[in-house]
Structure 1
Amino acid sequence: MYLLPALPALVTGRRPRRLAWAPWLVLGALFTVLIGFRYQVGGDWETYLLHYSREIGSSLLDPVTSGDPGYVFLNRLAVHMDWDIYGVNLLSGLIFTSGLIVFCRAQSRPWLAFAVAVPYLVIVVAMGYTRQSVALGFIFWALTFLERGKFIPYVLFIVAATLFHKTAIIMIPLGIFLYSRGWLLRIVAVALIGYGLWDAFVAPEQEKLWDTYVEQQMQSEGARIRVMMNLVPAIFLLLNWKQWKRFYPNALLWFWMALGAIASVFLVGFASTAVDRVALYLTPLQVVVFARLPFLARKRVRQQTMVLGLILGYALVLYVWLNHAAHAVFWLPYRNILFE
């Protein structure tokens, strides 16, 4: 899976003005099948089977009393259509993969961007944390629109993300940071929408969430490492901030994401699981910064040398995780229901 985008990243240069869709559609279809038809892969496999079984006998229009309504509805649809858990995972994989591809295609080095995403975002998140992977897929769509200065599509996709995992609400304030007129209107809109989402999805469970993630000091193994992985691109962005502002529109949103990544380093000791969950939405920073770094650092390092270094670096990340991570055993060996 890693070599599929990594090899093109090594032999292709910057994004041409017109980028062919055919290879990306093939890649997207393959990754969707690998994510959607996985069999007993992921640390929360049994938990998601339980989510599915809870909706057996439910009507599509029954009120959602707990959980994330988007994911509940997806399970009910799969139950209604007799798709089993693989229908849920396939649709979830389609949303995640399509968002990631649209986001990567907007970068200066699309194949490098996708390669950076594979070790953690695709293999760990999309094959392990289904609800958050769907939310992240919508966030990729949202960020693509936000960089183009389109506020309303951004908000709509963040709302969709929040339906699948309520923690995605933290991305709403980013809509303020656009280089365009209408700051006051955006602030008012973000405040109203953010309050509405909080009141609808988070407020009913805020005491439970606080108790679980903070009072009980729920811990996530590897949280510090994942937070540090966001810190590295954040530092590179700040070191190249003048060039970043010059060449890329709406740069301010990435500046604030970089600050969020830095803040996560100091907060992870306080509530590692909570910070780990939230820091997941900062991982697009890795994709966008490292896809642009060969161009930004071109006067100091040859672009192809930088690309090779990044490809080898993320290959090492994948190797270390597969061989030494405490929970990697839940992802190995990879099995697919089509071959069982």
Structure 2
Amino acid sequence: MFPYWLLFAVFALGAVSYSLKGRDQNRPSPLLLAAAVLIVLAIGLRLRVGADWQNYVVIFDYVGGMSFGEAMALQDPAYMALNTLAHYLNVDIWLVNLICAMIFTWGLVVFAQQQPNPWLTIAVGVPYLIIVVAMGYTRQATAIGLVMAALMRFEQGRYVRFLFLFILAAAFHKSAVLIMPLIVGASIRHRFVIYSIGAVLAGLLFFLFLETFLASMFANYFDAERSSQGAGIRIAMNILPAILYLVAQDRFAVSEQEKRIWRNFAYASLACFVGLLVMSSSTVVDRFALYLIPLQLFVLGRLPYAYPARSMRNGQLVAFVLVYSASVQVIWLIFAQHAEYWLPYRNYLL
């Protein structure tokens, strides 16, 4: 467990230091970039870590010998192309994982850098988003990283980059398309243009990506009535920040458009809870809820600044958020049914 706790400790200490001193947010600090490299190496060079490790090895072997065109004709074309590239360069699956880790971490840092305490934001994500999702669901984690970066581009009014990042996210995992309406629907600027482009893009992505994804999802998930272990716990982790945000959203110092985005995320989190109760397959709801995890990073990372102590940074709330996040990591590593696939941690460098 030591490598996981080392990763958490780096960002926890950074969060405490940042809350005491504060720094310029215009660009990532060298220390934050160095810590981001640690995330990339931990995710990208992991060895036989994660419940789906063998499934990804099967995919890697399956596309061996395919051309780039043949690989990209399969589902999740961007991910398949990376596998083909690794075979072309005659290297193992670590290259695929490393590139995906770089993309995910870049999106995470872009997102965190727009928060009051980037270190705290990432520390909140270590126990589940980084350790469980990024080290377990390579394709969807890469898509989540790109969605986080797309969120920031949308808020900045960089709509071309937003659309490009979303298309790329869908190319890694088609389910990324499902989260797009929550973002586009929050627009308060250039609504007609954005809605028109969003509608055209949604139609295009549906026929290119989502149609086959939905078909396989209904066949594999609904027909078989599959359930993800621990789906209720993961969805409950989104419920807490959703409620915190909805009852005190005016305390979060963001633009009106960003308020609407996170309001949509909060309502979607509550809807996932209802969906978990009424749907025959928790897997469908669970996979969609993974894209709502940034709500945890946003709300908990900003909590000390939403409730400041006498107009100063609230060090006690920073400590509370870190203790809560550490508790999540303890509970998952010790009690999660599939934690055995993450223990012990192995790395190609070791």
TM interval, short-chain normalised = over 0.9
Residue aligning to 1:51: 59
Matches within 5 A, 1:1-340: 1-13=7-19, 14-62=22-70, 64-173=72-181, 174-180=183-189, 182-244=190-252, 250-269=258-277, 270=279, 271-298=281-308, 303-339=314-350
Structure 1 248/12 Cα, relative in aligned 2: closer, same or farther at 3 Å? farther
Question: Structure 1's 315 and 217: CA in aligned 2 closer, same or farther, altered over 3 A?
Answer: same
Question: Residues of 2 paired with 1:61 and 1:81: CA distance?
Answer: 17
Alpha-carbon distance in 1 for matches of 2:254, 2:61: 52
Moved more, 9-18 or 81-90: 9-18
Cα distance, 1:59 vs structure 2: 1.4
Q: Matched residues, percent identical?
A: 35
Query: Aligned pairs, how many?
Result: 338
Give the unaligned 5+ runs of structure 2: 1-6
> Offset of 1:189 from its aligned partner?
1.0
Q: In the TM superposition, what is the alpha-carbon distance from 1:57 to its structure 2 partner?
A: 0.9
Deviation at 1:299, TM superposition (A): 5.5
Cα distance change, pair 247–167 in 1 and its aligned pair in 2 (3 A)? closer
- For the residue of structure 2 that corresponds to 1:2, the secondary structure is helix
More displaced, 153-162 or 11-20? 11-20
**Deviation for aligned residue 1:175:** 2.0
| Compared CA separation, residues 39 and 245, structure 1 to 2 (3 A) | closer
Letter of the 1:294 partner, please give it: P
Contact 1:92 1:134 in 2 (8 A): yes
Q: SS at 1:332's partner residue?
A: coil
Aligned AA (2:156):
R
Distance 1:20 1:168, change over 3 A: closer
Amino acid at match of 1:44: D
Range with greater deviation from structure 2 (127-136 or 170-179): 170-179
Instruction: Please say which of residues 316-325 and 169-178 is displaced more in the overlay.
Output: 169-178
Q: TM-score, normalised by structure 1?
A: 0.94
State the one-letter code of the partner of 1:61. G
Q: 1:144: how far off?
A: 1.3
Q: Which amino acid aligns with 1:4?
A: V
Cα root mean square deviation, aligned: 1.8
Q: How far, CA to CA, are the matches of 2:94 and 2:202 in structure 1?
A: 33
Q: Distance in 2 between matches of 1:202 and 1:19?
A: 36
Is the Cα contact below 8 Å between 2:252 and 2:306 reproduced in 1?
Answer: yes
8 A contact 2:71–2:84 mirrored in 1? no
In the other structure, the counterpart of 2:4 is: none
Compute the displacement of 1:45 (Å).
Answer: 0.6
Counterpart code for 2:16: L
Give 1:65 deviation, angstroms: 4.0
Deviates more, 1:148-157 or 1:328-337: 148-157
Normalised to the residue count of structure 2, the TM-score between the two structures is: 0.92
User: How big is the shift at 1:318?
Assistant: 0.1
Counterpart of 2:185 in structure 1: which amino acid?
Answer: I
C-alpha distance in 1 between matches for 2:84 and 2:119: 36
Structure 1: which 5+ runs fail to align? none
Compute the displacement of 1:105 (Å).
Answer: 1.1
Distance 1:196 1:303, change over 3 A: same
